[in-house]
Amino acid sequence: MTSADGYGDSTRCVSSVGSAHSPGQPMQLGPVFAAPYQLSEDEGSESDTYARASNPGWRGLEAALGILEGADHVVVTGSGMSAVTVTLRSLLQAGDTVVVPSDGYYQVRRYAEEALALLGIGVREVSTTGMGDASFAELLSGLPGRVVVVAETPSNPMLDVVDLRALAVVCHRVGAILVVDNTTPTPLGQRPLELGADVVVASGTKALSGHSDLLMGYIATSDADIAAKVERERLLSGTVLGPFETWLAHRSLGTAGLRFGRHCDNAQALADMLSGHPAVMSVRYPGLHTDPSYVVASEQMHRFGGLVSIELESAAAFHSFVSASELVTSATSFGGIHTTADRRARWGDQVSEGFVRISCGIEDTEDLLTDIQRALGGLTSGR
């Protein structure tokens, strides 16, 4: 699918990281390290004085991310989690309320409960599907102070989807700010700002950088006031992205379209194959026509992502599956070039002991399907 500017994902990715045409100069900038910047006699005229405040590496990466997210402003941070915390600290104060997904990334709930609540900020948990219920508007209208709603769609790890257009209308009707965690689909799969979100937060650690070799987060918005607040919070809190990680992430964006396309193709093929597999008790993937999220996902997502969640009979079945596979590695995080599997109950998610989140890599599709089919061959299901 092409974007509004007429280019496909890979063309947009390659174009976003290129530098202005200048004979004798590289097509893409190399690392810009945090060396001391030379000051001018005309004090205050410099574009950069200290790397924690601003630097050309950040500006290049932020400009590329802005193209992909369709955002006027992007602020990069040291991790996806820091993107969330910087955003919430910027938007909330004592007496306000934050609504977080009860089934999303668990560290967001922990941060709200263990840090924001101590600052006098009210915390409410609502499931992803609950944010799409008719009663959600009534809940929001009764919450005190400024209200910030954090949505994660598709949710991690259940892959539930909420209708972002409808959610944005509900939030804005009562003056709430909608923040969307876009880590799972990436801007190549979904552009929340175009669907009505006020702010996008994401972990660039995952599929966008895609090589499992750096930590990075970012905040994207087209609201200049919000952008100024989060940039100030990044400066004062020091939750910054290092210069080498900045360069690695910028370099990696050029191939994001190719990599993410293979992630999605592999995930779709895997979900189709596992839907009727005797060793698999259930399969969740927004791209499956039988998935409860399919209708909404197909209306707001360009691609359905590289994650497939399945349920095996037990934890022992999961370990047997991984041991028997030659291509699947047991690992948390996701979005890298290798296919990995994570038993989510070990982290405290409210799922069954055999619930597994599979992150499809960029292996050849037939090789991956053959390997997983063979690895599951010795298991029996509880059906």
For 289, other C-beta atoms within 10 Å of its C-beta total: 9
Is 318 found in the same domain as 367? yes
Looking at the fold, whether 164 and 236 belong to one and the same domain comes out as yes
Q: Would you say 87 and 199 are in contact if contact means Cβ atoms under 8 Å apart? A: yes
In a shared domain, residues 172 and 275: no
Which CATH number belongs to the domain containing residue 158 in this structure?
Answer: 3.40.640.10
What CATH number is attached to the domain comprising 338? Answer: 3.90.1150.10
- Give the number of domains in the chain: 2
| Residue 303 sits in the same domain as residue 198 | no
Q: Which residues contact 174 (CB under 8 A, 6 or more apart)?
A: 137, 140, 141, 147
Q: Is residue 247 part of a domain?
A: yes
Task: Supply the pLDDT for residue 349.
Answer: 87
Are residues 53 and 235 in contact, defined by beta-carbon separation less than 8 angstroms?
yes
237 and 321 belong to one structural domain: no
SS (H, E, C) 74-121: EEEECCHHHHHHHHHHHHCCCCCEEEEECCCCHHHHHHHHHHHHHHCC
- Radius of gyration of the chain from Cα atoms? 21
Residues 192 and 265 grouped into a single domain: no
Residues in Cβ contact with 45 at an 8 Å cutoff, skipping those fewer than 6 apart: none
**Extended strands (E) in the chain:** 73-77, 97-101, 122-126, 147-152, 177-181, 199-203, 217-221, 282-284, 307-311, 329-330, 340-343, 355-359
Looking at 216-360, list the stretches that DSSP marks H as alpha helix, in order from N- to C-terminal side: 224-237, 243-253, 256-274, 294-300, 315-324
Residue 181 lies in a domain: yes
Considering the domain boundaries, does residue 114 fall inside one? yes
Let me know whether 98 and 65 are in one domain: yes
Is residue 18 located within the same domain as residue 88? yes
**Is 264 a domain residue?**
yes
Q: What confidence score (pLDDT) does residue 290 get?
A: 97
CB burial of 344-359 (b: ≥16 within 10 Å; e: otherwise) equals bbeeebebbbbbbbbb
Q: How many residues does the chain have?
A: 383
pLDDT at 52: 93
For the stretch 132-141, what's the b/e string if a residue is b when 16 or more beta carbons lie within 10 angstroms of its beta carbon?
beeebbebbe
Q: Alpha-carbon distance 3 to 355, whole Å? A: 35
How far apart are alpha carbons 242 and 190 in whole angstroms?
Answer: 27
Residue that is last in its domain, among 253, 281, 297: 253
From CA 167, how far away is CA 145, in angstroms rounded?
A: 19
Task: Look up residue 70 and give its DSSP letter.
Answer: T
Its domain, for residue 336, covers 256-376
Q: Do 363 and 277 have their domain in common?
A: yes
Contacts (Cβ under 8 Å, ≥6 apart) of 213: 248
The verdict on residue 331 lying in a domain is: yes
Residues 214 and 229 in one domain: yes
Three-state SS for 305? coil
Q: Are 262 and 303 in contact (CB under 8 A)?
A: no
Q: Shortest CA distance to 257 belongs to which of 299, 302, 213, 309?
A: 302
290 and 243, same domain (yes or no)? no
Task: Give the CB-side neighbour count of residue 246, counting CA atoms within 13 A.
Answer: 25
Token match 């509004």: residue? Answer: 4
Domain match, 279 and 243 both: no
Of 202, 218, 253, which closes a domain?
253
Identify the pLDDT of residue 273: 97
Query: Is 182 domain-assigned?
Result: yes
Which parts of the chain have pLDDT scores under 70? 1-5, 380-383
Residue 51 and residue 244: Cα distance in Å, rounded? 12
